[in-house]
Structure 1
Amino acid sequence: MTSPASITARAVLLPGAAREAGVGELAERLHERGVEQLALRRAPVVTVVLRSAALRELARAVDGLLEIDLGRVAVAGWRRYDRLRRTAMRTCPDRVEQVELFEHEVTHTCCPRLEVTVDGNRVGELALELGVALLLQPLAATVRGGMLVALGPGDCTVTVSVAAPEVGPILQRKRTLHVATMVDLRRPIPLIGRQPARPPATPGADLTA
C-alpha cells in the first residue's frame, strides 16, 4: 500500500499551483513588497540581472519552507493538549477511551533567515516569518494504550502566512480541510513519551480547552 500524500502548508498558500507557477506567484508578491531590494541592500553593485536572480531564488527558498506537514503540526499540538494527555496516560498500557476535543487552535511559527550569495560571497540576507494556524472544530478522538488511533468527523480551518519583519505581510491564505484527511492514522500515533513495556501476550500543543 502506498502512503497517502501529506497535506502541506504549500497546498493552502498556493492551492493547485504547479511548482514553477507557485514560485512565480511568490516572486511576484515578494517583488510587490520590495523584498529583493531589501535583501540586496548590502551588495556593492545591484544589476537588473542580479536583482531578478535574487528574487527568483528567494521565491524558491520560500516555496521550500512551505513543505510543512499539517498533520504533524496538529499532532505536535495535541501532545500538549491537556485533555488528550490525561486520556493517553489513563489508557496505558491497554485501555481504550474516547475523548471529546473542544474547539481549539494549534499554531506553528518559524523565523528563518535566508542568505543571498554571489560567487560564494554573501551579499544580502532576509529575515522571514512563516506561520501556520489550525483552528479545529469540536471532534472526538479515540485513544488506545496512550496512542491516538481514530478521529471522528470534524473540520479544520488552516491559515498559512508569510511575512518579513521589515516589510510586514507578504501573503496569507485560508483553507478548510477535513481533519481525517489531514492526519495519517494508518498507524497509531503516540501522544506521550515512551510507553511502558507490555506484558507478554497470551494466546487467544500548551493547549487547554
Structure 2
Amino acid sequence: MPLPLGFLDSNYYLDVDPFPASGFSGFQQQTQLISDSMNGSSLAAASSPACVAAYPGQTWKCSYGQYRMPFIKTSYLMVAAQYDGWQLSHDVHDYQGIEADPVYTEDELDYVNSFGAATQALVQTLPSAVETGSALVFSPACYSHHVSETPNFWNASTSDGTSQAGAMATLLSLPEAAQYWVDDCVGYACGSGC
C-alpha cells in the first residue's frame, strides 16, 4: 500500500496581528470563531491529541498553520510564500482577496518585511513536535499565494532554481529526510525566482 502524502499549498498562516490601520480583525479571530461554532475542539482532539495537549484551552490553534504544522505526521510538501498574498492583502489593507500589485507605505512595508522574515525563520523549524515521514518545505521570498493551479507551479522558483513542480517530484520520490527550499534574501519579494 502506498504511503499517504500531503501537499499543503499556502496553509501556513502566521499568528501576527493585522497592521494597525487595516481594520481587519485577523485570521486568528476568524479561526477561533469557526472552531468554536463547529465544535473544532472535538475535531482537533481526534486529529491531533498532541496539538490539543500543547495548547490547552486554545484548540483553534490546531487549525492554524503556524501551530498545526509541527504536529503533522504524514509526509508532506508545504508551500509557504514568505510574502503570502492572501494573508498580507487582508492583514495590511483589509482587501477581500489577493491584491494584484499592492503599494505599501513605509510603515506598511516594515510590517510586510517583518512578516516575511517571520515566515522565513519559522518554516525552517519544521518538523519539530513529532516524528514525521518526510517534511519538505518550499518557501520562496515571493508575493504569491496558492499558485499550484497556475503556470507558476512550473515557472516560479526559489532562488536556487527549484520550482514547486520540482519540489513535488522530490516528494513523490519518497525522500527519507526533511528537505528545504527556503529563500534567505531580505526584503519584500526579493526572491530571484518570483
- Give the alignment's TM-score, normalised by structure 2: 0.27
Higher helix share: 2
Structure with more strand by fraction: 1
